[in-house]
Structure 1
C-alpha cells in the first residue's frame, strides 16, 4: 500500500504537506514539457496480492514471520497480517514478456509458499477468502506498521462514524465495522501499462473503456463473510470499506475515495492529479525535503514524494502513476480491477487480454471511447462486477452480453494487438486460448465457486462448506490447471480435517433464527415454534438486541396454570426469561458443552457486541457429539 515511512499528522504538518503537494503539481507540469520522460519503449508489470491461510484454510496472521523467513525484496506487507504482496519486475512489452511474467509469478509465489510452510501456513490466490469471518477483521490483525494505523485513525476521523456496508447480490449482506480492516478482505492482481505523456489521455480512456468486459471475464470474488453477493464482490466492498464521506457529503453526492471516475480525460495526466487534490483531503503526510523545481533546473528528475503519497490514498480503479526509470521519469496506468487467482496462468491470461486490447485499440483511427459515453463505460464496469459474463455491455452503439462481446469482438482484437507488438505466437495462443475457453464455457472463478456451493446444498455446516470450497481451490491452484478445467467442489462425507470446523461456537451455531419482540402476543410465538418445530424462540428489540428467551416449557406451564381466555392478550414480555445467558462466537466448543451441561441449559444465544448472531441448542451439540463419536470409532478400527 505504498510509502511506509509516515508519521502522525498534525495541522501544521498537513499544511506543509499540502504546500509540497501543490509544488509537485506545478513542477510536474513543467517536467511534462521536457524530454525527460521515457519514450520509445513500453513496459508492463504486475503486483500480486495473496492470502496466508492455516491448515484449516482460515486466515493465518504470520506475514511478518513469512517475510523474515523469505528474505525476498519483492515481497512486502499489506493491510492485514494475513495478506502478502509481491512486486514483479517490469517487462518490455514484446516477444516473451508474458511468459517471463508467468515464470516470475510462479517463482515468487513459490518463495512465499515455502516461507509460509515453515510458519505453519500456505498461500491462496483468491479475490476474497471464503472462510473469512468478521472476527478476523479486528485491529489485532492489522499489520503493525505506522502507515496502516494512521490510515485507520484518519479515515475514522473523516467519516465520524462506523463504516457501513450494504451489498445486495444473490443474498444480502449488511454490516457495520469500526475500522478499515474490511478492506483486507480483498486481494488483487494489479497490472501496469507504461505510456508516454503525449499518449496518456488516449490510453487512459481506453483502459476505462475496456475495464468492464475485462472484469467480466476475470471475476473471482462471489462470496464475503459466507454470503453470496456480486460475481466480483471486491468492487462493492472496497468502495464501501474506505468510504470517508459523512452523511452530509453523501447527500450532496460527493465522490467516494474509491471510484471509477467522472468522465473521459481530455489532454493530460494533470487532469487526474488536480481533480484528486481538489476533491480528496490529505489522509496521511510525511516530511518532504525535496524542492522539485530546483531538481528540474539542475537537470534532475524529481521524486514527487508528496504527489505519489497522496495519489496512493485515492483509489481509482484505473490509477495514473508517476515513477522513475533510471535517469528518466515515466507514466503508467495501473489497472486495479483484476482479482487475485484462480491460478497464475489465469492471472497472466487476464493481463494478456488487457494488454492486447490496449495495444490494438490504440491503433484505431477513431478510438472506441469516441463512440460510447462515459456513463456506458461506467455501467459496463459495475454490470460486470455484479453479473460476470452474463452482464450486459454497451459497445459501439450495441448492447450484448459480456460473453458475446468478448468472444466475437474483443478476443480477436486482443490477439491482433499482441501480434502487433510481436508477442510470441505460442504465448498468444496459451493465454488468449485460456480466456477463450473460460468465456466459452462460462466458467470464471466466481461461477466455479457458485456452482460448487450450489452442488453442496445444505450438506454439512456453513463452515464445512466454505472450508471445502477453499480446500478445493487450493488443490486446483497448486495443480496449475486453469479454472475452466476444474471439477466442481463437492462435499462427499466430512473432510479429514472436519474437526477444524467445530472448534468454536461461531462455526456450528444456527444462524437461520426465528425471533419475536417483547410486545408480540404469546400466540404468535407459540405458532412459530409449532410451525418450525423448535423448542425455543429468541426475543429481540427493534435494534436487533437480544432481550429475552421463550421456551416451550414456559408455554406449557402457562397453559397448565390458567384458562384460555387469560392467555389471549398475554405478551411475550410477560413470559420470557429476561437477559438470558449468552456467549460470543469465539467461545471454544468444549467450553460451550461444559457450560450447557453445568447450567442445565438447552438453548444458548450467541451474541457479538450487543447483537444476536446465532444460537446453539441441544440438537446442535448432539450433532457435533455424534460426529466426534463416529470419528473416534472409525480411527479406533484403523
Structure 2
C-alpha cells in the first residue's frame, strides 16, 4: 500500500512541487535506462502473502497490532485493516529446489505466526476474501494504526468526493456503499516478484499480462463478499471499486481507474512509469530532499522517491518496480494477480506455474502479444475472474492463418501452457523434482476442475442443502477451509462439504 509516510495536510504548492519532482525522477529513470546503469541479471524472485486473522468462530479478529508484537519479526508487517497481516519471504535465486525451499520457509513462518495469534484466540487463514466479512468489519475505525493508511484513505476519499459504490453482479448481485477505502482490505493476495534487466522488462511484463487470465482461472479463491456469492475471483472488481477516485461523471468520460489492467503492450519499463505520471494525479505529494539528476551526475543511484511513492498508488495487476539494493538500481515485475491460499502447496504451485510460463512466453520467437490484441488479454482477465476454472479464453490459433479462437481454460493449460511452464522452469535451472511436484498440482487441479473458489462454493451450497442459514453456512465453510488449509494437502484433494452437522446455535 505504499512507502512509510507521515500524515499531514497538503497545500497547492506541495502538489506543484511534487509534480516537478516526479518529472525530474522520470527524466532520471530515462537517463539510467539510456546509460545502462542497472544491476546485472541475477534470476531473483520474491514472494509476499497477505493474510487474515480469524477467531475460532471463523469471524475476523481486529488484532494485527497485538499479533505482530508477539511475532516480533521483520518478515511480518501490517496491512490495510486490523484483521490483515503480510509475510515477506527473502529473495531467492530461481533454480535447483527453490520451490521446496520456499515452501519449507513459508510453513515455518506461518506456523509460528499462527501459534502467536493463538495466544490471542485467533488464527491465520490464507484466502482471497474472507467469506465471513461483514460491512461493519470494513469501516475506517478498523484501519490499521499506521499513518500511511489513514493518509491514503483520506486522500482517496477527498479525490472521490462522495461515497464509494460497490456494484458487483455475479452469481448474485451485491450493491452497497462505503465511506472509506477499507473494503479493499478484504482483498488478500500473493505478490510474485521477478527481477529483470531493462532489456528484458517489456517482454516479461507483456508475458505476465498474457499469463494473468490463466493464473486467475487456475487460482481463483474469492467467490464471496458480504454474504453474497459473486465472481469466482471477486478481488479485481472489489479492488477497482473500493479505490476508485472517479465519481460517475469522470467514469463516463473514460478517465482511467487507479486499479488498472492497462490498455497496451509496452516496449520499455519507461512506458509504464510515464503513463502513471500522465494519467494519475498524486495522492500523496510528499517530496524527498534528494535531487535525482544531481545524484546521477555524481555517479550515484537515486532513490527516485517520488516516482516510487506515486507508483505505489497506481494498482496495476502487473506493476513495475524500481528499487536500489547495495547501491545499484534494479527493476522488477510485481505480479499481483493471485489471491492468497488455499495452502502453501497451492501457493507454491501457482508460483512455479507463473515463473515457468512467463519465461517461456517472454522468449518465444513469435510472442503471444504480437498475435493477440491487448483488448483480448483484458477480456480474458475479466472472463477468468468471473468464471474461474470454468472460464473460456480467446487464444492465438496455431498455424499460418493466425487469429484467435475460444478455448476452455483447462484445455489451454493442459495442452499448451503446462508444457511451456515446464520448459521455462527447466530454463531457469529448476530441478525436475520441483517441476514435477508443483506443476503436477496444477495438472490435477485442471483434471478435477477444482480450485479454492469452486471448493468454497460447493461446500457452501452443501451446507445450505443441510438446512443451515447463509451466515452459519459461510462461517462453517470458513472454519472447514481453515482446518484443511492447516493440514496442508492441496485444494484439489479436499473433500467437499462439512465433516459433520453444524449446530445452529
The answer to whether structure 1 residue 445 and structure 2 residue 455 are counterparts is no
The answer to whether structure 1 residue 64 and structure 2 residue 65 are counterparts is yes
Aligned to 2:427: 420
Q: Is the 8 A contact 1:206 1:369 kept in 2?
A: yes
Q: d(CA) in 1 for partners of 2:327 and 2:367?
A: 32
Q: Is the 8 A contact 1:45 1:192 kept in 2?
A: yes
Task: Give the secondary structure class of the aligned counterpart of 2:90.
Answer: coil
Deviation at 1:268, TM superposition (A): 1.3
Q: d(CA) in 2 for partners of 1:193 and 1:439?
A: 26
Aligned to 1:185: 186
Q: d(CA) in 1 for partners of 2:105 and 2:16?
A: 42
Q: d(CA) in 2 for partners of 1:99 and 1:26?
A: 42
Q: d(CA) in 2 for partners of 1:69 and 1:87?
A: 17
Q: Residues 608-619 of structure 1 correspond to what in structure 2 (within 5 A)?
A: none
Task: Give the secondary structure class of the aligned counterpart of 2:271.
Answer: helix
Q: d(CA) in 2 for partners of 1:107 and 1:286?
A: 38
Q: d(CA) in 2 for partners of 1:7 and 1:464?
A: 40
Q: d(CA) in 1 for partners of 2:76 and 2:502?
A: 36
Q: d(CA) in 2 for partners of 1:99 and 1:159?
A: 45
Q: Is the 8 A contact 1:6 1:284 kept in 2?
A: no
Q: Is the 8 A contact 1:216 1:388 kept in 2?
A: yes
Q: d(CA) in 1 for partners of 2:268 and 2:427?
A: 26
Aligned to 1:512: none
Compute the RMSD of aligned alpha carbons. 1.2
Aligned to 1:288: 288
Deviation at 1:274, TM superposition (A): 1.0
Q: Is the 8 A contact 1:49 1:85 kept in 2?
A: yes
The answer to whether structure 1 residue 309 and structure 2 residue 316 are counterparts is no
Deviation at 1:491, TM superposition (A): 6.9
Q: d(CA) in 1 for partners of 2:413 and 2:312?
A: 32
Q: Runs (4+) of structure 1 moved beyond 6 Å?
A: none
Task: Give the secondary structure class of the aligned counterpart of 1:89.
Answer: strand
Q: d(CA) in 1 for partners of 2:221 and 2:325?
A: 33
Aligned to 1:40: 41
Task: Give the secondary structure class of the aligned counterpart of 2:482.
Answer: helix
Q: d(CA) in 2 for partners of 1:3 and 1:111?
A: 26
Q: d(CA) in 2 for partners of 1:207 and 1:485?
A: 28
Deviation at 1:39, TM superposition (A): 2.0
Q: Residues 37-436 of structure 1 correspond to what in structure 2 (within 5 A)?
A: 37-265=38-266, 267-396=267-396, 397-436=404-443
Q: d(CA) in 2 for partners of 1:14 and 1:87?
A: 32
Q: d(CA) in 2 for partners of 1:186 and 1:364?
A: 33
1:27-51 CA-to-partner distances (Å, cap 9, x unmatched) read 1111112232112322111111000
Deviation at 1:362, TM superposition (A): 2.2
1:44-67 CA-to-partner distances (Å, cap 9, x unmatched) read 111110001112111111111111
Q: Is the 8 A contact 1:17 1:288 kept in 2?
A: no
Aligned to 2:487: 479
Aligned to 2:22: 21
Deviation at 1:95, TM superposition (A): 1.2
Q: d(CA) in 1 for partners of 2:187 and 2:215?
A: 18
Q: Is the 8 A contact 2:464 2:470 kept in 1?
A: no
Aligned to 1:565: none
Deviation at 1:415, TM superposition (A): 0.6
1:134-172 CA-to-partner distances (Å, cap 9, x unmatched) read 010111211111111111111111111100011111111
Q: d(CA) in 1 for partners of 2:47 and 2:225?
A: 25
**Which segments of 5 or more consecutive residues in structure 1 lack a partner in the other structure?**
500-638
The answer to whether structure 1 residue 470 and structure 2 residue 478 are counterparts is yes
Equivalenced residue count is 496
Q: d(CA) in 2 for partners of 1:33 and 1:210?
A: 29
Q: d(CA) in 1 for partners of 2:354 and 2:479?
A: 30
Query: Normalising to structure 1: TM-score of the pair?
Result: 0.76
Q: d(CA) in 2 for partners of 1:168 and 1:246?
A: 20
Task: Give the secondary structure class of the aligned counterpart of 1:362.
Answer: helix
Q: Is the 8 A contact 2:139 2:183 kept in 1?
A: no
1:421-479 CA-to-partner distances (Å, cap 9, x unmatched) read 21011111111000110111001100001111121225222221111101111110111
The answer to whether structure 1 residue 454 and structure 2 residue 455 are counterparts is no
Q: Is the 8 A contact 1:2 1:312 kept in 2?
A: yes
Aligned to 1:626: none
Q: Is the 8 A contact 2:21 2:287 kept in 1?
A: no
Q: 1:350 to 1:14 in 2, by over 3 A?
A: same
- Bigger Cα displacement from structure 2, 191-200 vs 475-484: 191-200
Deviation at 1:16, TM superposition (A): 1.9
Q: 1:492 to 1:114 in 2, by over 3 A?
A: closer
Q: d(CA) in 2 for partners of 1:153 and 1:240?
A: 16
Q: Which has the higher contact order (CA 8 A, sep 6+)?
A: 2
Deviation at 1:270, TM superposition (A): 1.1
Deviation at 1:7, TM superposition (A): 2.7
Q: Is the 8 A contact 2:476 2:502 kept in 1?
A: no
Q: Is the 8 A contact 1:7 1:286 kept in 2?
A: no
Q: d(CA) in 2 for partners of 1:90 and 1:115?
A: 25
Q: Is the 8 A contact 1:468 1:489 kept in 2?
A: no
Q: Is the 8 A contact 1:2 1:309 kept in 2?
A: yes
**Which segments of 5 or more consecutive residues in structure 2 lack a partner in the other structure?**
397-403
Deviation at 1:223, TM superposition (A): 0.6
Aligned to 1:546: none
1:398-424 CA-to-partner distances (Å, cap 9, x unmatched) read 210111100111011101111122101
Q: d(CA) in 2 for partners of 1:491 and 1:183?
A: 32
Task: Give the secondary structure class of the aligned counterpart of 1:88.
Answer: strand
